[in-house]
Chains A and B, each alone.
Chain A
Amino acid sequence: MSNEELHEEEELDLASLPDDELVQQMHDDLYDGLKEEIEEGTHILLERGWGPVKVMNEALVAGMTIVGIDFRDGILFVPEVLLAANAMKGGMAILRPLLAATGAPPVGTAVIGTVKGDIHDIGKNLVTMMWEGAGMEVFDLGINNPVENYLEALEKHKPDILGMSALLTTTMPYMKVVVEELDKRGIRDNYIVLVGGAPLNEEFGKAVGADAYCRDAAVAVETAKELIAARRAASVEQPIAVAA
């Protein structure tokens, strides 16, 4: 059989696969960055009565975990991870409204942007890609963002995380301006503030009042997961905060 035939046959076969094989196939399709197949697989599982949380965890997140491991180990390349993240995004777009309806906590949402005066965005784009790959919903504000842009986006999207990137020593102090503004408005603690960019370091992250400095995109994913989990755990312990 030629590759093309094989491919065609697999596409046609997706619906006829038993659950466990379909999930396995979706892990492969995520790995191969096949967005349409992932969307189709997601629909099939839902039609078969799978709950959205189960689809997300077993088919999507588990598949992207494998992608993450192989990216870390240098087996997968950036453009491949980009495709995988994009496929993940496709699946998550279907699941998100269903997840919300069940009241299950979303994986997490984030607003991210490069700060005012700075146009470096390659690193920020990688972080966005990896966050999306982890199932998060990310609102990317692009480059050169004054504090107003962040405030507006926070208001609109009510994310878990505010991410800021800066690559210039002349622009990285602007992160502090943003954090102070949040403070002033009494909304600082509503968000997890994560910062990154090559000229920053741990100490600088602390100095601007961020919750954490992320040295690379993989760390940005781990940190986001950890801090979101910690925040949710804390709000469960304090039911009043949830009610508010």
Chain B
Amino acid sequence: MSERAQRRKGGGGREARRAARIEAKVPTVPYITRNVPCYEVMGEEGLAVIEAQAETILQEIGVEFRDDAEALQLWKEAGADIDGERVRFPKGLCKQLVQANAPREYTQHARNPERSVQIGGKHMVLVPAYGPPFVRSLDDGRRYANIEDFRNFVKLAYLSPYLHHSGGTVCEPVDLPVNKRHFDMVYAHMRYSDKPFMGSVTTPERAQDSVEMTKILFGEEFIQQNTVMTSLINANSPLVWDATMLGALKVYARNNQACVVSPFCIAGAMSPVTVAATCAQLYAEALSGMAFAQLVKPGAPVVFGTFASSMSMQSGAPTFGTPEPQLVLYVIGALARRLGVPFRSGGGLCGSKIPDAQAAYEASNTLQHAMLAGVNFMLHTAGWLEGGLAMGYEKFIMDADQAGMLHAFLKGVDLSENGLALDAIREVGPGAHFLGCAHTQENFESAFFRSTVADNNSFEQWEVDGSLDHAQRANKLWKQMLKSYEPPPLDPGVDEALQEFITRRKAEFPDSNV
């Protein structure tokens, strides 16, 4: 057979290839399993020094568990020293509780089993940004977020192949009453996506409502046996756990649902200005929180979270993508692996107000370091602007694109026969090019990461295309995505039951904004 005939056989002509490459279905790119080792900035000796200081903090200074008598009682029974609300821990107690009980990794189930994720170990799960009260787009500028924005970001995360998770408070729908908005938020994740998601933490009752809704979606038995939510519990550094966060943590732990136990720290204000001290304090705080979850329910999945940023000492504002917090990130990553629990950090963090060069530099600084440091659960991967005050439509697209690069990098170097491609080098020999050789023909489509946002065309072509900058191209993309969005199928009976639950609960108490 001639070469042409051979190629024709596998071809199918223009229609087939166009169809294959402009595939309409939402592609599933599995969560990352890394083939590249984690980078560490200090060896065992250094980590042991940090740990020793953390143990001293826990024993001598202690941690406050505020407005939660039950927490104090549990600690007392576990052998800690209780002084008012201050809990001091015998050396090694917290570590032992965590190591004896908390899983090294766990599966967070999605309603579509294809999209379930493995959190911990060699895996990395990418999650949208969390918490912003404002949204920003090129069209509207900056404004308060509403439930429509919330749904839009759930849809965009669903449509983004490199995001494995639907996130939690992708933005805060301030148009809805404070005491009821969690119903609409959790429902949006359930209805408009089939990826895993996070539950409400702003009061224990809202955490319980989130659990009740997952019972409807997954079945009561299923959720008692399996983890279907991973929710965010922040420490109030330095060395305080408040009743809101403890209350939500208890609800989730009791129901076998995972908590990201996160000291969220602006060094300078919330911890000392030095890296080693910050690491020791964060480790102490996280250990006390994760150990507490084990007292509530032995075996409850926990993630060692950190959110490290530094403070502008000239204004008090938090800063992002700067070098010192990256060092913290590496040290905490190593401590989490050493302890044997999954690790959360990173994200497309930045202080910029708009999707500009500052936003891009700072975000990629954090994303790349988080990738190398071995983050398992990367909250804030996409959308973050303005220190978390705004969720950016264009920024979301830019970050989700970067997320794709992390996948490609962490595949590592393929040393197989195909990876080594000696035949290709033989075939082409000196002085020729590789574009047509058999190996290139077989591999070109997936060989290199392709950005959907970057423009690498000639100057003239770029000009013909409208001289658009990065953010303007991203603007076109999110609009196209939302236009093409189709919801994943959801059993109508389940949907009805969810809506019925929400309607009933909302009717049980009056709307309130406090």
A residues near B268, Cβ cutoff 8 Å: 78
Q: Which of A119, A170, A174 contacts B202 (CB 8 A)?
A: A170
A18 sits at the interface (CB 8 A): no
| Chain A window 191-210, contacts with chain B (Cβ cutoff 8 Å), 1 for yes, 0 for no | 00000001100000000000
Which residues in chain A, 76-93, are within 8 Å of chain B measured between CB atoms?
A: 76-79
A residues near B172, Cβ cutoff 8 Å: 169-170
The answer to whether A119 and B389 have CB atoms under 8 Å apart is: no
The answer to whether A78 and B514 have CB atoms under 8 Å apart is: no
A123 sits at the interface (CB 8 A): yes
The answer to whether B202 and A199 have CB atoms under 8 Å apart is: no
CA distance A199 to B169 in the complex (A): 15
A197 CB to nearest B CB, Å: 10
The answer to whether A174 and B514 have CB atoms under 8 Å apart is: yes
B270 sits at the interface (CB 8 A): yes
A residues near B270, Cβ cutoff 8 Å: 122
Q: Which of B202, B240, B314 contacts A78 (CB 8 A)?
A: B314
The answer to whether B514 and A173 have CB atoms under 8 Å apart is: yes
B269 CB to nearest A CB, Å: 5
The answer to whether B174 and A117 have CB atoms under 8 Å apart is: no
B391 CB to nearest A CB, Å: 12
B residues near A198, Cβ cutoff 8 Å: 387, 389
A residues near B387, Cβ cutoff 8 Å: 198
The answer to whether A74 and B314 have CB atoms under 8 Å apart is: yes
> From DSSP, what is the main secondary structure of chain B's interface residues?
loop
The answer to whether B314 and A77 have CB atoms under 8 Å apart is: yes
B406 CB to nearest A CB, Å: 29
The answer to whether A199 and B178 have CB atoms under 8 Å apart is: no
> From DSSP, what is the main secondary structure of chain A's interface residues?
loop
CA distance A168 to B514 in the complex (A): 11
The answer to whether B178 and A122 have CB atoms under 8 Å apart is: no
A224 sits at the interface (CB 8 A): no
B383 CB to nearest A CB, Å: 16
A residues near B174, Cβ cutoff 8 Å: 169
A residues near B240, Cβ cutoff 8 Å: 119
B residues near A122, Cβ cutoff 8 Å: 266, 269-270, 316
B residues near A170, Cβ cutoff 8 Å: 172, 178, 202
A residues near B202, Cβ cutoff 8 Å: 168, 170
A135 CB to nearest B CB, Å: 21
The answer to whether B244 and A117 have CB atoms under 8 Å apart is: yes
Q: A119-B242, A199-B389 are known contacts. Are A126 and B316 too (CB-CB below 8 A)? A: yes
A residues near B266, Cβ cutoff 8 Å: 122
CA distance A150 to B311 in the complex (A): 30
The answer to whether B236 and A169 have CB atoms under 8 Å apart is: no
The answer to whether A116 and B514 have CB atoms under 8 Å apart is: yes
A217 sits at the interface (CB 8 A): yes
CA distance A126 to B270 in the complex (A): 13
A234 sits at the interface (CB 8 A): no
A104 sits at the interface (CB 8 A): no
B residues near A144, Cβ cutoff 8 Å: 242
- Most chain B CB within 10 A, of A117, A168, A169, is at A169
B513 CB to nearest A CB, Å: 4
The answer to whether B316 and A123 have CB atoms under 8 Å apart is: yes
Which residues in chain B, 236-276, are within 8 Å of chain A measured between CB atoms?
A: 236, 240, 242, 244, 266, 268-270
B residues near A69, Cβ cutoff 8 Å: none
CA distance A198 to B240 in the complex (A): 22
A177 sits at the interface (CB 8 A): yes
CA distance A183 to B311 in the complex (A): 38
A residues near B314, Cβ cutoff 8 Å: 71, 74, 76-78
CA distance A227 to B443 in the complex (A): 70
B residues near A78, Cβ cutoff 8 Å: 268, 311, 313-316
Q: A119-B242, A169-B172, A170-B202 are known contacts. Are A217 and B316 too (CB-CB below 8 A)? A: yes
Kindly report which residue of chain A lies nearest to residue B67, judged by CB atoms: A144
B residues near A117, Cβ cutoff 8 Å: 244, 514
The answer to whether B313 and A79 have CB atoms under 8 Å apart is: yes
A residues near B311, Cβ cutoff 8 Å: 78
B134 sits at the interface (CB 8 A): yes
A39 CB to nearest B CB, Å: 27
A residues near B313, Cβ cutoff 8 Å: 77-79
B511 CB to nearest A CB, Å: 11
B161 sits at the interface (CB 8 A): no
B133 sits at the interface (CB 8 A): yes
B residues near A116, Cβ cutoff 8 Å: 514
The answer to whether A199 and B316 have CB atoms under 8 Å apart is: no
Q: Which residues of B contact A (CB under 8 A)?
A: 133-134, 144, 172, 174, 178, 202, 236, 240, 242, 244, 266, 268-270, 311, 313-316, 387, 389, 513-514
Could you jot down 16 A-B contacts, CB within 8 Å? Answer: A78-B311, A78-B313, A78-B315, A79-B313, A116-B514, A117-B514, A119-B240, A122-B266, A122-B316, A144-B242, A168-B202, A169-B172, A173-B514, A174-B513, A198-B387, A199-B134
User: 5 smallest A-B Cβ distances: which pairs?
Assistant: A173-B513, A199-B133, A77-B313, A169-B133, A169-B172
